[in-house]
Amino acid sequence: MEKLRIGLIGLGTVGSGVYKSLQNFENVEIIKVAVRNLTKTRSVEVPTEKLTDNPYDVVNDSSIDVVVELMGGVEPAWDYIKTALENGKHIVTANKELLAKKGEELFNLSEKHNRVVLYEAAIAGGIPIIMPIKTILAGNKIHKIQAILNGTTNYILTKMDADGASYEDVLKEAQTLGYAETDPTGDVEGFDAAYKITTLATIAFNARAKFENVYREGITKIRKEDIQRANELGYKIKLIASATMDENNNADVRVHPMLVPKDNMLAHIDYVTNAVLITGHPIGSIVLSGPGAGEFPTASSVIGDILAIAREYKTTDYLLPMMRCHHHSVANPVKIEDTYNKYYLSITAPNAIGVIAKIGTICANKDISLSSILQKGVESDNTAEITVITEKCLERKIREVVSELEGCEVKSLIRVMEEG
């Protein structure tokens, strides 16, 4: 049996899982591994002769068939991948940021050199999502995706809910446990989920979504009071990555917190678990859920891509045609201010006659109907917290309402996922 020869760039958590797991397969062989520090103690033992601290030793090695890039980031990863493709190598990557920012250039280059780029691990860790969309679901017209794609933020929101704790306290705990980075910005400000939904929307809609057009809002302003009030109203708060495409090729792609109805399956995706809800025709709606990160779950997706290449390698002149990029159009981006949503507002207002009527009047003047408005108690400073849930309305209009609520402080403005 002729083995598929692998070059690995990156031997961190995922890279170590890939290295360990590939030892169980006889049809693949890891030839060379590029690491940042040759003397670092690792959880996996790699023969010294296979290690290098220069990734160009991997991408320029003529004996290597597939380069597996697991280092992350755009640069210098992009130059390594570009060089590998120019040298005739297939690519497997888990690099969600590079895909989101350089995807068009990457896939054009791969087609130019007749090489395949596989990236199952880049979107939802161990959850198979790219290959199902491109194969089993290929006969569907997918028009909506709603997903939980970041385990760190989902863990924080779940713990805030379970413990009644503040965002700041739970973040510190998550950092201690290793669920959050020392600098958690990429997760808690929604960048990670935005990278992923950019690529996922592009694949599902067969039209390119641009990362710079994705609206992004993180979870740093979510208060424990919002979590509590959402529960009372029949919701859970989740960071949702969503994408919808209408019949005119208009793509609304975004990441932000949402109040998710408790009868929606996404409301019950807790801690570090990820989930993707896909809606299309004729399938209807399906949910794929599982571990969205971690050494072996993510390694599972990487290995699946490697083995897909191994099965067809040297059997055809055009490898894995269904997994290649077939879209060349760009989706029309929809600005967040032009979208229609339901909203949750938490307003601190003076405990005075007519305040609730004032809120209702300002909303009515903007053609915004209220689903519910609730005041619970009076604070020692004679202010009251008023909770408002609107009916579906234009984002631009709700922002105008917020700016016109003089004498009141809007503590939270969170979009609400529609039921059904």
Three state DSSP letters for 64-102: CCEEEECCCCCCCHHHHHHHHHHCCCEEEECCHHHHHHH
Distances (CA, A) of 204 to 69, 197, 219, 322, 324: 24, 10, 26, 13, 13
pLDDT of residue 158: 97
Catalytic residue among 101, 196, 236, 342: 196
Kindly indicate the confidence band of residue 1, based on its pLDDT and cuts at 50, 70 and 90: low
H or E segment to which residue 230 belongs: helix 224-232
Q: Are residues 271 and 340 in the same domain?
A: no
Instruction: Supply the pLDDT for residue 319.
Output: 92
- Residue 71 C-beta-side C-alpha neighbours within 13 Å: 23
pLDDT of residue 407: 87
| Within-domain flag for 81 | yes
Considering the domain architecture, whether residues 269 and 151 belong to the same structural domain is answered as yes
Residue with tokens 């570090």: 272
- Whether residue 276 is found in the same domain as residue 148: yes
Pairing of strands 273-281, 284-291: antiparallel
Q: Are residues 138 and 275 in the same domain?
A: yes
Is residue 181 domain-shared with residue 238, that is, in the same domain? Answer: yes
**In terms of domains, do 270 and 310 share one?**
no
Instruction: Assign 214 a pLDDT band (cuts: 50, 70, 90).
Output: very high
Structural domain contains residue 68:
yes
Residue with more model confidence, 416 or 384: 416
Residue 329 domain-assigned (yes or no): no
283 and 169 within one domain: yes
The answer on pLDDT for 420 being more than 80 is no
Evaluate whether residue 342 is within a structural domain.
yes
- Local confidence band at 352 (pLDDT 50, 70, 90 cut-offs): confident
Residue 210 lies in a domain: yes
Identify the pLDDT of residue 71: 95
- Whether the Cβ atoms of residue 116 and residue 319 lie closer than 8 Å to each other: yes
pLDDT at 353: 86
Residue 331 lies in a domain: no
Q: What's the number of domains the chain is made of?
A: 3
CA–CA gap between residue 291 and residue 302 (Å, rounded): 14
How much is the pLDDT for 97? 98
Q: Angle at the Cα of 61 (from 57 to 64), degrees rounded to 5?
A: 120
Q: Identify whether residues 249 and 307 lie together within a single domain.
A: no
Q: Specify the range with the lowest mean pLDDT, choosing from 79-83, 353-357, 414-418.
A: 353-357
User: For residue 416, what pLDDT band results from cuts at 50, 70 and 90?
Assistant: very high
H or E element at residue 346: strand 340-350
Does residue 377 register a pLDDT over 80? no
For the chain, give the percent of residues with pLDDT over 70.
100
In a domain, 145, yes or no: yes
Is 328 part of any domain?
A: no
pLDDT digits (tens, 9 = 90+) for 100-146: 999 999 999 999 999 999 999 999 999 999 999 999 999 999 999 99
The CATH number for 349's domain is 3.30.70.260
Can you give the pLDDT at residue 325?
86
- What average pLDDT does the segment 255-266 reach? 97
Active site residue 89: no
Domain residue limits at 184: 130-291
Which CATH number fits the domain that encloses residue 163? 3.30.360.10
Residue 327 clears pLDDT 80, i.e. is over it: no
Residue 84's domain is classified under what CATH number?
3.40.50.720
Note whether 370 and 386 are same-domain residues. Answer: yes
Do 108 and 234 reside in the same domain of the chain? no
pLDDT digits (tens, 9 = 90+) for 144-167: 999 999 999 999 999 999 999 999
Question: Does residue 311 sit in the same domain as residue 387?
Answer: no
How much is the mean pLDDT over the chain? Answer: 95
Residue 293 confidence class, pLDDT cut points 50, 70, 90: confident
pLDDT above 70 for 14: yes
> Are residues 79 and 137 located together in one domain of the fold?
no
Give the tens place of pLDDT for each residue, 75-87. Answer: 999 999 999 999 9
The CA-atom distances, in angstroms, between 3 and each of 51, 57, 66, 85, 117 are: 20, 20, 11, 20, 19
**pLDDT for 230 beyond 70:** yes
Cα(140)–Cα(262) distance, rounded to whole angstroms?
28
